[in-house]
Amino acid sequence: MKMFVPLYHGVIEDSVYEKDSFEQIFQKHLPCTEFEKQVKWLVANFEMLNVEEFYQKCVLETPQNNYSLLTFDDVYANFKTNAIPILEKYNCPVTIFPCTGFALSVRSSWTDEIERVLMNVNTSTVKINGRLFRTENTAYRIQSVLDVKTYIKSLPAKKLHMLMDELLRQYDNGITLPKARMMSLDEVFLLRKHHLVSLCHHSHSHNVLLNESTEDICKDITENIRIIGPARFFAYPFGERDVHFDERVKQLIRKKGFLAAFSVQKMPTYNDFDLYEIPRKEMHINDHLNII
């Protein structure tokens, strides 16, 4: 028997994808035709479960079939406009992990803000905390987005947000990034009524929890639970073991009452997985062809 937990972030119109050089390389937001192809493949090869069914059949019991749990993190607005109609077409359940701080517009996703600013900046270099990043053409801008994300992601949240504020103050020219709009909290809560959607937890701040103090992590998760509701299932922000979370973070999640938690792996296996780091694979174009 096989298990598979795919992870998605966004789904954008094919015409938008074809004009977006950044997405064509990194595919955080898949084009609609590719997402539909993957959903069609999933329902043909797996029994698609909601998160409660997955926990029962794949965690508490020995799997008796090929099972899959389709998940979305962060919950961009294009989930409602582009993903839901496809999921409805194939009657495919989905589990969403919204970041409540994004949904409340407390702060935008800083990874999206880096892309928005650097891909549209009017200067040939950008200086952040004394470091220079080249932005004179598209290739350099894409590389600088990656380098700045890697650098800033390594910092504690207070320093990270201080540098983000500096970046926006110096280089933001006001150009928008429509694909980066998150669903509001009201929109997220309306999805609770949808028969295919399960709502779970993904932190309040979307900080790299491994970089934070135990006190700050507890405050963050407590706020996330207060807004979403009782702790059931958690997805670590960014999600890589020993890069974004560690044993200390896992134990804090367990103590908060979560039954299980989900991580991210490039090539996940499910022969013997930890209850508090169930692996998921972020999906890109044609990734499904290598699963079975």
CA angle 59–249–159, rounded 5-degree value:
140
Range list of β-strands (E), 209-253: 233-235
The verdict on residue 135 lying in a domain is: yes
Distant-in-sequence, close-in-space partners of 28: CB < 8 Å, separation ≥ 6: 9, 10
Strands, E assignment, the chain: 3-4, 6-8, 10-12, 29-31, 47-48, 67-68, 71-74, 94-98, 125-128, 131-134, 197-199, 233-235, 260-262, 281-282
- Which pLDDT does position 107 carry in this prediction? 64
Q: In the numeric block, which tokens belong to residue 79?
A: 């989930």
Whether the Cβ atoms of residue 70 and residue 79 lie closer than 8 Å to each other: no
The last residue of a domain, from among 124, 144, 171:
171
Pair 194, 90 in one domain: yes
Same domain, 8 and 65: yes
Report whether 240 contacts 264 (CB < 8 A): yes
Dist CA 178 CA 176 (whole Å): 6
Element spanning 76, H or E: none
| Separation CA 90–CA 42 (nearest Å) | 10
Count of the separate structural domains present in the chain:
2
**209, 268: one domain:** yes
Check: CB of residue 173 under 8 Å from CB of residue 121.
yes
Q: Compute φ and ψ for 12, nearest 5 degrees.
A: -120, 160
Q: Work out whether the CA dihedral 160, 162, 167, 173 comes out positive or negative.
A: positive
* HSE (side-chain half, CA atoms, 13 Å) at 18: 5
pLDDT tens for the 292 residues of the chain, in order: 689 999 999 999 999 999 999 999 999 999 999 999 999 999 999 999 999 999 999 999 988 899 999 999 999 999 999 999 999 999 999 999 999 999 998 567 999 999 999 999 999 999 999 999 999 999 999 999 999 999 998 899 889 989 999 999 999 999 999 999 999 999 999 999 999 999 999 999 999 999 999 999 999 999 999 999 999 999 999 999 999 999 999 999 999 999 999 999 998 988 888 999 999 999 999 999 887 6
Phi-psi category of 283—alpha, beta or left, where left has phi over 0 and alpha has psi -120 to 50?
beta
| 127 and 250 fall within a common domain | no
Report yes or no on 253 lying in a domain.
Answer: yes
Structural domain boundaries enclosing 164: 110-171
pLDDT score at 2: 87
Query: What confidence score (pLDDT) does residue 106 get?
Result: 58
Where residue 231 sits, what CATH number does that domain have? 3.20.20.370
Does the pTM surpass 0.85? The reply is: yes
Residues whose CB falls within 8 Å of the CB of residue 271, separated by 6 or more in sequence, listed in order: none
Distance CA 11, CA 29 (A): 5
β-bridge partners, 222: none
CA 276, CA 292: separation in Å to the nearest integer?
Answer: 25
Task: Give the pLDDT of residue 99.
Answer: 95
Partners of 55 in the β-ladder: none
13, 129: one domain: no
Asked if 223 and 276 sit in the same domain, the reply is yes
Considering the domain architecture, whether residues 37 and 74 belong to the same structural domain is answered as yes
As given in the structure block, the two tokens for residue 124 are: 């040939």
Residue 290 has a pLDDT of 82
